[in-house]
Structures are given as structure tokens and as C-alpha cells.
Amino acid sequence: MKQTTFASTGFELVTKRTRKREFLEEMNLVVPWTELVALIQSHAPVSKTGRPPFPVSTMLRIHFMQQWFGLSDPAMEEALHDMALFREFAQLDAGATRLPDESTILRFRHFLEAHQLAIQMLASVNAKLIDRGLMLKTGTVIDATLIAAPTSTKNSTGERDPEMHQTKKGNQWHFGMKAHIGADADSGLVHSVEGTAANAHDITKAVDLLHGKETDVFGDAGYQGIEKRAEAQDLEVQWHIAMRPGKRRVVDKTTRIGALKEKLEKLKASIRAKVEHPFRVIKCQFGYRKTRYRGLVKNTAQLITLFALSNLWMVRKRVLMANG
């Protein structure tokens, strides 16, 4: 059946080229669909009876739109019915009598979680970026951010998510989880993601965020003492950890040594700043500020997918220019 677009429905004279359409067109060009679909297809079950399943490419596009626009399973189903743009991006025929419902979208997400395909998709995306020379992997910046979780107890169990915890940052208490990432020191692209409860210290996941080929690792003052931990003893890396704020304040910057220390701290801070960009993309661009599911496994899988998509978003201009 021939696919119908906006232009063929008679709206070509009145339809504005929206930012949402431009976003989807750009991401459609930079996402390595062939590699990702092949990866998922190798795990997909083969059904010989019943209605034919929706193509993996269609379900993957729907799954990615959920991440980009912060849509729940029911909201995604309604968006497919309401918005021709979403149906067009998902490669669904405009005249189709059957669209993926929320149960189908849910089962596809559970399928990705069961086979741990999120981490494999991140690796596949990064492999493409390395081939293009966009990720060097000679240095790593490590950092963590808090992700809030619903605090309401108005649910079937009458309690908050038991895998989430509260922690104090500054003078404010936060309830939720913590996303730990390891990013390329040159480009800021994420190569490692770990999810823990909010009360886990940043330093406990530091070694897990390294890919093993870096020579230098940068981190904020929260990683002070990492080189003394048992799991870091065999690593042949140079740790560049920020000085604690209290110690930095008492440095006499009028002396030659003090001025050099301050200059070194500013240099390390300029490199660490790159790790904040992925956090900004998933929180501000994709609107991910609160966990959607219960449990660390599901939310960590979503975080890995979000950071894989943030990598593509961050390099989209260079990829599009290279493709002409």
C-alpha cells in the first residue's frame, strides 16, 4: 500500500514546517537504522500463526519517539492516532486500519529489556561514531546526576518504589535514582552508563564507567580518593580529580605555586564541563527529569537509550554535513 504523506492529504499549502518535523527529519538521517534493526531482529521471535507483527523498524521508531517526546505507552498510542507526522515517521500507512496499541508498545519495550538491547544499541551507535572519527576514547570524564522519582504512595502497594532512595544535596533532600556516566573527554559523547539509587556515592561506580582504553580520567571533587580504592589499583590511568572547594578557597593565588594550582583547576574544569552537555540534552531537550517506571533495571535501560540518542543529537550537524 502506498504511504500517504502530509503533502498528499491536501495540507501542503497550510502546514507549517514545525520544529518537531525538522527534529524528526534530522534524527531520521543520523540514526543508524540498518544496524539497530538488524541487532534487534536477531533476537525477535518468529511467529507463524495469528496476525503478522508490526515491523521491527516501526516499533523501534515508535520507541525512540517515546524517549524524544517523553510519552508514556498510552500517550504514544494516542499520538499515533492524532498526529500524521508521527505515523509518517513510524512508516505506518495513512490508511492503515490497525496501529500499535499501548500493549504492543509495552511488550516491545519489555522485549528490549529482556535481551538487554539498550546497552547493545549504545555500543552500536558509538561504533558508528568512532568510525566517523567523532569519538576518540583517549580520555574519560565521569560524573553523576540525580533523577527524581515519584514520591506518591497512592498506588496498589501503598508505598514508594523500594529501589529508590533519598539523599541530601546541599540543603535539599532528593528522592529517586542516580545516573552515572562516562563520557569522551574530547567530544563529550557518552560511552558508559550505570544506574543506582540516589544514596549511592559517586565513587562506587567510577571504575565501572571506564572502557579500559583511556589514559586520563577526569572527575569532580566527589571522586577524591578514587586512586586509593582496591578496584582502581590495577588501572594504568592518570586521575585528574578536582580539588575540594574548601581547599581551593584557601589557596594563595598571589604566589606562583598558588597561581599554577588555580590555573590547573580551571583547565580540569574546562574538560569536565563537556560531561554536562549529555545531561542537558536528556533533561532539557528530551524532557527526562523524573523516572517513569518502577525499579532500577527498567529506568537504567531507558537512561542508556536516552544517552545513545543524545550522542546522535549532539553530532547531528557534523553527520549531516559529512553526508552532504
Residues 218-267: tens digit of each pLDDT: 999 999 999 999 999 989 999 999 999 888 888 888 899 999 999 999 99
Q: Helix (H, G, I), strand (E, B), or coil: what is residue 224? A: coil
Convert the pLDDT of each residue in 1-31 to its tens digit: 455 555 555 445 456 788 999 999 999 999 9
* pLDDT given at position 243: 92
Q: Look at residue 308 and tell me whether its pLDDT is greater than 90.
A: yes
Q: Where are the domains of the chain?
A: 7-45+52-114, 137-295
Q: Angle CA(292)–CA(190)–CA(291) in degrees, nearest 5? A: 10
- What is the rounded CA–CA span in Å between residue 324 and residue 278? 26
pLDDT at 59 exceeding the cut of 70: yes
Which segment of 11-25, 34-48, 176-190, 247-261 scores lowest on mean pLDDT?
11-25
**For residues 206-211, average pLDDT:** 94
Instruction: Kindly compute the dihedral angle of the four CA atoms of residues 258, 262, 263, 264, in this order, to the nearest 10 degrees.
Output: 100
pTM: 0.90
Burial label, 122 (beta-carbon count in 10 A; 0-12, 13-18, 19+): buried
Count of CA atoms in the C-beta half-sphere (13 A) of 193: 30
Residue 165 pLDDT class (50, 70, 90 cuts): very high
- Mean per-residue pLDDT for 202-219? 93
Confidence of residue 157 (pLDDT cuts 50, 70, 90): confident
Sign of CA pseudo-dihedral 78, 81, 83, 89: positive
What's the rounded Cα separation, in Å, for the pair 243 and 137?
Answer: 24
Question: For 293-306, what is each residue's pLDDT tens digit?
Answer: 999 999 999 999 99
Range list of β-strands (E), 72-222: 139-148, 165-169, 172-184, 190-197, 216-219
Q: Is 119 buried (19+), middle (13-18) or exposed (0-12) by CB count in 10 A?
A: middle
Q: CA-to-CA distance for 150 and 293, rounded, in angstroms?
A: 9
Among the listed residues 208, 203, 190, the one whose alpha carbon sits nearest the alpha carbon of residue 305: 190
CB within 8 Å of 286: residues ≥ 6 apart? 67, 68, 69, 70, 306, 309, 310
pLDDT digits (tens, 9 = 90+) for 79-137: 999 999 999 999 987 666 789 999 999 999 999 999 999 999 999 999 999 998 888 77
Count of H-run helices and E-run strands, the chain: 12, 6
Rg over CA atoms, the chain:
22
pLDDT tens-digit map of 124-152? 999 999 998 888 778 999 999 999 999 88
Residue 1 has a pLDDT of: 44
